[in-house]
Structure 1
């Protein structure tokens, strides 16, 4: 039958429903696969098929020939709770799911991928996890990572604290990759942890043959049992399935939109790698907190509003003035080069200083560090009491300023916090000279 009217009417007339295997032919190209549910926001004439490769394809079916190959016969099944296979010989690991691709499960009736709304959903998606540890899985919320907020960071930190306080030997957080490094950085400042806290995600969902979800999750469980008691990001190190990197949470950044090895440590190497279910320390000279060294502490007081402002040709001081007018608690400037901003920003920066609003400057270059003593504009920023933060990346400067301004409203105390290496977020030995007015 050739499509020539409204999609729903066409499917009804063809007796085709979601879950059926269909063949669609258009312009000498043939697509065969399972008919999926259609998002409300998609084109009304688009039909979505999951092919045998695991990939989905959307086709505008105007002028297409569609036929049913096989009727779906997978009725809804009430699933039993997952057998967690508890053992005194295994470590106790909690998985906290916040959403994202890594915490998605396949609906084998429709072929669609949905968020894991319960702990059992998460374990059904990767049942092998119970072989590695006693798993306590908990979905604390299900959001796209771009909808993460500082308030949800505070909630996540409290959940992690409670799990460790209740005896967890390690905590894994399933998270969307787009803002994972913000969350990891924020948690590193809010928590002193005696056990590993490992954040992981997936670039490709579990219905795709190239999915990285399984390896990232299992490697994170292995990492959560290690001796590295820090907030870590665990993701693929390479495009293939060789091993995963353990990046310090406040030193890592998402560097590619779709590659599986998207997360890289900036201005330092990964602390360790997970290969063949074994954690291998990358450089014995790198200092990290060992299991049990720090007592468990939670300080999740964050400021209400901090801005991250990128400097670019043509930027005006309206941005800074707006944040001053709205009573922001701090401003991070993502400066050019060694930490610079245009001359037309200085009146607004002076105004922020007069309003007792801390202004921090980092570099959008990512690699390297700020040095405000080289050029006149940098020295002028120092005279305005702008706070340079060495080799700290912009996302970390933002999350740290949120935390620092949550500890004090005294600008000198905030300066001291920002320029003190608290959780390995900066290389102070190389950066000390750049903090001092000359």
Structure 2
């Protein structure tokens, strides 16, 4: 049987970092990563497209990554993207929307320790990503610490431990155990063609609600060309309306054509604006529920939707649509 053809797109990150006078900085190429990894049972091609710490990966780099994936998608059985961990969940989430109906598995991975350090987690993560790219159905994934997660459900939850990422509100797609590489969940296949669409609107704001937050700050955002907001509200989506009326400020913004999406500060489970009065106040004002989406997925979905010219109602409809497994809808 012919070996699976896998493309490694290298973008930098801790996995490719080396020691410098300024601290760890990306300095190794994708070829050096493969050489350190050693033999793999795949036909691997390497292309270096960026060499950045992921804290410096921004919307301009998202476009570069999406275009590279799209351009190469028909020439390989799968694509692995090596990426820094700090913003990898944002990048993987955005790829979910920029590359809808992708026709091959695309797997993001990185490490907590550089590849060239003894006992690094990088070799295992890279091996896992290759295995996932060679065997999973088409979608955007994130591979880390023996788990494969949907990119749009992944969140970085630890700064130094090797189990840095978790799959939020859905189980991992696959994992490695003593039984080997086990695929646990699948999504229905689609015959729709992949379309590259990198139009996004970055004039958005994500903030965490806290006791004492002044709603005038929300109104100030509207005056400074903010086009959409994601609020990490309390619990199921509750917002203050006594003395500091956040719900009323949300209504004012929505009347100005600025969509406001409510997600939960709680990492697990969902927002539900219908259950408590403090949520219903916001719902009456027009707040849009993110249901059980991650904040990373909600903000990138909002950016992408606004980039398509969607108005408030269209954004509400978009957030009531499951594009690629990013949300659980009743």
What are structure 2's unaligned runs of at least 5 residues? none
- Measure, in 2, the Cα distance between the counterparts of 1:207 and 1:302: 36
Secondary structure of the residue that 1:257 maps to in structure 2? Answer: coil
Partner of 2:311: 410
Partner of 2:295: 394
Q: Deviations over 1:219-268 (max 9, x none)?
A: 111110113211111000xxxxxxx1110111111111111012111111
Partner of 2:168: 266
Residue 324 (structure 1) aligned with residue 218 (structure 2): no
Q: How does 1:13-162 map to 2 (within 5 A)?
A: 89-104=2-17, 115-116=26-27, 118-128=29-39, 131-162=40-71
Q: Deviations over 1:184-207 (max 9, x none)?
A: 111111112111000001011234
Partner of 2:187: 288
Given candidates 124, 138, 145, the residue that maps to 1:215 is 124
Partner of 1:229: 138
Partner of 1:34: none
Once the two structures are TM-superposed, the CA of residue 103 in structure 1 deviates from its matched residue by: 2.4
Given candidates 188, 191, 202, the residue that maps to 1:304 is 202
Question: Cα gap change, 1:187/1:418 in structure 2, threshold over 3 Å: closer, same or farther?
Answer: same
Q: CA RMSD in A?
A: 2.3
| 1:229–1:288 Cα contact (<8 Å) kept | no
Once the two structures are TM-superposed, the CA of residue 317 in structure 1 deviates from its matched residue by: 1.7
Q: Deviations over 1:99-140 (max 9, x none)?
A: 111123689xx9x97524544333333232xx3222221121
Partner of 2:83: 175
Larger Rg: 1
Once the two structures are TM-superposed, the CA of residue 277 in structure 1 deviates from its matched residue by: 11
TM-score, with normalisation over the residues of structure 1? 0.70
| 1:362–1:388 Cα contact (<8 Å) kept | yes
Question: Size of the alignment, in residue pairs?
Answer: 325
Once the two structures are TM-superposed, the CA of residue 379 in structure 1 deviates from its matched residue by: 1.0
Partner of 1:202: 111
Partner of 1:372: 273
What are structure 1's unaligned runs of at least 5 residues? 1-87, 237-243, 430-438
- Measure, in 1, the Cα distance between the counterparts of 2:69 and 2:179: 24
Residue 423 (structure 1) aligned with residue 324 (structure 2): yes
Greater RCO, CA 8 A, separation 6+ = 2
Question: Cα gap change, 1:276/1:230 in structure 2, threshold over 3 Å: closer, same or farther?
Answer: farther
- Measure, in 2, the Cα distance between the counterparts of 1:398 and 1:416: 15
Partner of 1:357: 258
Secondary structure of the residue that 1:402 maps to in structure 2? Answer: helix
Secondary structure of the residue that 2:152 maps to in structure 1? Answer: coil
Once the two structures are TM-superposed, the CA of residue 354 in structure 1 deviates from its matched residue by: 2.0
Once the two structures are TM-superposed, the CA of residue 424 in structure 1 deviates from its matched residue by: 0.6
Partner of 1:250: 152
